[in-house]
Structure 1
Amino acid sequence: MKVAFIVWNPFQLIQFEPLAKLCTDPTVILIDKETNAKLFPPGMLKSKHWKTVFVKPAEIPLIDGTHDIIFFQSAFPNIEKIKTTKLVSLQYGLAKERHNYGEWRALADMNLMYGQYSADIVSHYAPSYAVGNLKFDTWGDYTERYADKVQLSKELNLDPSKKTLLYMPTWGELGSFDALLKPIAALQSRYNVLLKMHHNNDAKVPEWLISAKREKIKHIYDGSADQLKLLCASDLIISDFSGAIFDGMFANKPILLYQENSSGKIGVQKFDLESLEFARRNDIGHVCEQADDFERSVDYALEHGAELVEKAQALRSTLFSQPLGKTSAQASIDYAKCLFNNEIPPLTQAQIYVRDTVQRLRTIEPKYNRLTKQVRDMKKPLLKKLLTLKF
């Protein structure tokens, strides 16, 4: 079985790494978006476990049929042109459900999800199975390796006498970085503050690093940092609408959600109030909605940490599955082999109809966007002329 992985940022390759190590001569297909290769740490693309091929978005149709299975995280340019190679989507987050469970899942021949909760939601698009969260396959090793928190504090240059806050905001308008940067920086006299940014900030909003350094944040990590190690060091997870919330939940850490003006963010990055990170927020952790209440909320969440973790257990058990007797990575590869050997049920007729529709829409969408821009550009001089008319 010849396997490839589609990536365009380090976050994706980090998730695929344990899968790649279980494959024979796999290929990492990096979609070349001009500057994104610079985001990968030195040596990541040149691994003994895989070969890396750079492909322009327009060249994606040329890879069809070159591999038996292609794993991907999210819909990529020209995915609708892949007709022969089997496509397997691998869940990478639980937040922003309108995206994570969107119609693009119909483009996959199989969806591999964190747990039955997610598998059930996308099962109408294609055969879908719960395989757990690959990121945490080695969590037990991490907790054992870093059981001595004093030693871990030394490694991370933390003050062992202070509690440690791990702040992981989502990116862009939906994120809390701008609102919380100053308040969280001010807490450094009382707590160790670790800032781990979303991988999209590295590519789309690189100015975040300048801002963080200006506020003298001492411990700054980008999207490719070792999140499991940081989770081991943390006493409280602080986030907003990010999927990092659920990484903290998996690790049994208390969570503080900063969710200011949630209703005003509807539609941003496909967020809505039905999405898990908002709809179940009181089951996830403690909620803060105003920056003025932030420090008090941090103190409260730390003081009631055990209660918050306990309250989250019921939701945690529905979101994450653990395959019996194997890792999530091995379960994913086993399902891929079943797909390759035609042991997975084929798409139903209804699923084929949905896929065909999504493929056509993705083909039409760029043309529609270009036409919309042309119409908008044509309107500008007309509107300018109308505004200058005197009545």
Structure 2
Amino acid sequence: MDNKYIVGFFIQNPFHYYLYESVIDSLVSKSITCHLILNDMLKDDNEWVNMYYGLINFVEDIDRKDIEAFVFSTVVASGFQYDCVISPYYHNNIGQIGKKHIRLMYSLAKESWTYSWWNVFYDKILCYGDYDFRKLNIYNNCEKIGNPKFDKWFRGGLPDYSEIKKEHNLSLDETKKTILYVPTYGELSSIDQWIKEIKDISNKFNIIIKLHHGTVYLQSEEYRRNYIKQNFLNVLNDAADLLKILKITDYVLSDNSGVIYDAVLAEKNIILLNTTHNHQINDHTIESKIREKIVNIDVGTKILEILQAKDLWGSQKKILSEIKNTLFFKADGFAGERAANEVIKLLSQANDHNHFLLSLREKIFY
């Protein structure tokens, strides 16, 4: 493979690196140079500035020498253009640093935003499966590849229980089942209405809480993270690899977080915690439809009673398998390879003849 190409991966939190990792591995193996582009524009936002410094610490700890990292402002100032920039969503000014742009899906949540107008910015969108493909495809500018983040999961590349426990300094009783609680942040978070009940069952289960990056860094979420850190032993921030934690988890508690779909792909026992803000969810979105099939409970329902309903989990396993096959293409561990092949295919194309997409882009962005 001609190694003249340089591909940039736009990143603003550790979650994005885990999303890209398998794709980067495949591109590097094909002699494509890969860079991480760190969004230092976050420094200009008081709410998110700490997330930027958290990202810097995370990137410095990545144990690999086959990629480099550069801050976005430096790339812009230099006038350098990548042959292709890969990002999970559109960001202002990102267009100037890439000759071509690819979107790598990072979640199926929040449909009104995920499938919004800005998707016409991308030359190619790499979709999870049929569902998002149907929402986004414009004259074959989308491809179904599966979920690259799960490649290690499906190919058996994750550490064992003891290694994961040690790496994340987890205090776990191996005689108890483990619950992973992964709430979103903001109004749709379940923390305020459910956290005390979760604490009440912590004597019967191991509880691991993985905080959303919004809860980790935002000033407006400080009271939530303080309460959780003061009342729970196993609290992880956004730098933790979700797949490793899922591997040692028996049950997943969530709310309106995109982690729902990761738990579906992992076929974990799932309970969705409803809140009084759930009326904000559009009835026609996947968030609403998935609640028709997955166990979900309203405030006042006892979590312990649901966890102990053994017959419930057998029937849900079958449902999760059906949902997984509907939402995700080929759960085989080679999504990153398929993504890399699509990147190379786009790089090899001299011109884009998708006139409809180009006209939409020109109308919106120029």
Q: Fold conserved (TM > 0.5)?
A: yes
Q: Does the 8 Å CA contact 2:111/2:286 hold for their aligned counterparts?
A: yes
Whether the 8 Å CA contact 2:269–2:313 is kept in 1: the answer is: yes
SS at match of 2:59: coil
Aligned-pair Cα RMSD in Å? 2.7
Task: Write the mapping of 1:1-391 to structure 2, written as runs, cut at 5 A.
Answer: 1-21=5-25, 22-23=27-28, 24-32=32-40, 33-34=42-43, 35=49, 36-40=51-55, 42=57, 44-45=59-60, 47-56=64-73, 66-79=81-94, 81-82=95-96, 85-124=99-138, 127-142=141-156, 145-146=159-160, 156-205=170-219, 207=222, 208-214=224-230, 216-264=231-279, 266=280, 271-283=281-293, 285-300=294-309, 304-322=312-330, 327-342=334-349, 346=352, 348-360=354-366
TM-score by length of 2: 0.85
What is the CA-CA distance between 1:143 and the residue it aligns to? 7.6
**Shift of the alpha carbon at 1:151?**
8.2
Task: Please state how far the C-alpha of 1:188 moved relative to its aligned partner.
Answer: 0.5
Q: Is 2:145–2:329's contact at 8 Å kept on the other side of the alignment?
A: yes
Structure 1 pair 222–144 and aligned structure 2 pair: CA distance change class (3 A): closer
Partner residue of 2:46? Answer: none
Which one-letter code corresponds to 1:175 in the other structure?
A: S
> Percent identity among equivalent residues?
24
| Paired residue type of 2:357 | Q
Cα deviation 1:238-263 (Å, max 9, x = unaligned): 11111101111111111111122355
Shift of 1:357: 3.0
TM-score between the two structures when normalised by the length of structure 1: 0.80
One-letter code of the match for 2:68?
K
Q: Per-residue displacement from partner, 1:239-291 (whole Å, max 9, x unpaired)?
A: 11111011111111111111223553x2xxxx5232212222122x2010114
**Given that residues 249 and 309 in structure 1 are in contact (C-alpha distance below 8 angstroms), is that contact kept between their aligned partners in structure 2?**
no
What letter is aligned with 2:346? L
Deviation at 1:294, TM superposition (A): 3.3
After superposition, what is the alpha-carbon deviation per residue over 1:186-225, rounded to whole angstroms, capped at 9, x for unaligned? 11011111101112322325523311022x2111111121
In structure 2, relative to structure 1, the CA distance for the partners of 1:291 and 1:199 (3 Å cut) is farther
CA distance, structure 2, for counterparts of residue 228 and residue 323 of structure 1: 14
How far 1:102 moved relative to its partner?
1.4
> Is the 1:120–1:128 contact (alpha carbons within 8 Å) kept by the matching residues of 2?
no
Cα shift at 1:138: 0.3
Q: Is the 8 A contact 2:193 2:275 kept in 1?
A: no
Q: CA deviation at 1:3?
A: 0.5
Deviation at 1:40, TM superposition (A): 2.4
Tell me the equivalent position of 1:380.
none
Q: CA deviation at 1:113?
A: 1.0
1:27–1:50: 8 Å Cα contact kept in structure 2?
yes
| Unpaired stretches in structure 2, ≥5 consecutive residues | 44-48
The worse-fitting range, judged by mean Cα deviation, of 22-31 and 129-138 is: 22-31
CA deviation after TM superposition for structure 1 residue 64, in Å: 6.7
What is the match of residue 375 of structure 1?
Answer: none
What one-letter code is carried by the residue in structure 1 that aligns with 2:71?
F
* Secondary structure, aligned partner of 1:26: strand
Moved over 6 A (4+): 150-155
Larger radius of gyration: 1
| CA separation of 1:314 and 1:135: change in aligned 2, threshold 3 A | same
CA-CA distance at 1:4 after TM superposition = 0.5
Aligned length: 345
Q: Can you list the C-alpha shifts for 1:93-128, whole angstroms capped at 9, x where unaligned?
A: 011111221111110000001112211210028600
Instruction: Supply the distance in 1 between the matched residues of 2:78 and 2:144 (Cα, whole angstroms).
Output: 28
SS at match of 1:334: helix
Task: Tell whether the 8 Å contact from 2:128 to 2:146 is kept in structure 1 after alignment.
Answer: yes
Q: Quote the Cα distance in structure 1 between the aligned partners of 2:116 and 2:101.
A: 16
Offset, 1:348: 3.0
State the shift of 1:236 in Å: 1.0
